[in-house]
Structure 1
Amino acid sequence: MIFGVHQFLWHPYTVYRAWKSLYGRPNWREFICIIIHDWGYWNSPNMDGPEGRRHPETGARIARWLLGQEYGDLVLYHSRHYARQLGIPPSKLCWADKLSVIYEPKWFYLLRAKLSGEIHEYRINGKHEFGLDRSHSEWFDWLQGELVKLAEAKRGDAIPYQFERG
């Protein structure tokens, strides 16, 4: 969280930008949720393993305590894995979280991913979709394209928007 992809200052900024592009400016409660949604990664030994998959619980607990059930659910279900387990559609925060990658300068994302070691976990977990033989830069371009397609498909038709990379 200090050096990684989910860096506690930068990642909420990119999620905020994505939220704003998808849904308009978040209210103050949604803004708090954007800030705390990944706090469960603190001290987690992995991102996608058993501990990492439970990361939404921490932010959801804080959001429920501060803001109520609705906002706890917004945080908890930003995880597609969590939502799938319970048979619930992912929350709006999920799609802003996924789309946030378009606001990432490639060099900065890859630097953070390398510093934290996350790049290896992400690449190994995605080896069937992309492979391991190409560069991290090519992988990032592929990942960015896949996440944009996913966010565009899931955002719904309520807010027409052309995503601008920035």
Structure 2
Amino acid sequence: MILGLDLSAKENNKTGYFYFNKKPIFGILNKNEEILNLIENEKFKYIFIDAPLSYEHPYRIEERLLYKYGFKPLPLSLKSMKLLYERANLLKNKIIEINNNIEIYETFPRAVEKILKLKYQYFSKIFKYKDIYDAYLSYLAGLFFKLNRYEKFGNLILPKI
């Protein structure tokens, strides 16, 4: 099973999640504990997260490749992006403690959206928050990965069509 996660930099902000278990399941979580409980209670094989899982100042290979292809990620030199990286890696380490068989990958929903020619306006009645939509896009990156229809931008996974 695949979990799409749109992680926020701070626990007070919305983290969207999306997965499919006989039906679409999605919503908002905030605290690390809530995210870890979800992961512990479900049988995820893959987690696709909208957050940087590595750090290089000011740009990683992932950002440089994304820029090269016309995508516009935020640089890790921004304080909020560094906080997001720190939270993502804290969670990644805790997830591995829970189950070291879970594979965790980084993705970039704006690129997924552009590649698949999707727009939030088509989903706004289904997903109350854009955070859930971004989690859905992260899930789709995971689905393309599972179908072996993906490209790697450094360690970042995007659909390939």
| Same fold flag (TM > 0.5) | no
Higher relative contact order (CA 8 A, sep 6+): 2
TM-score by length of structure 1 reads 0.28
Q: Which has the larger radius of gyration?
A: 1
Where is the helix percentage greater, Structure 1 or Structure 2? 1
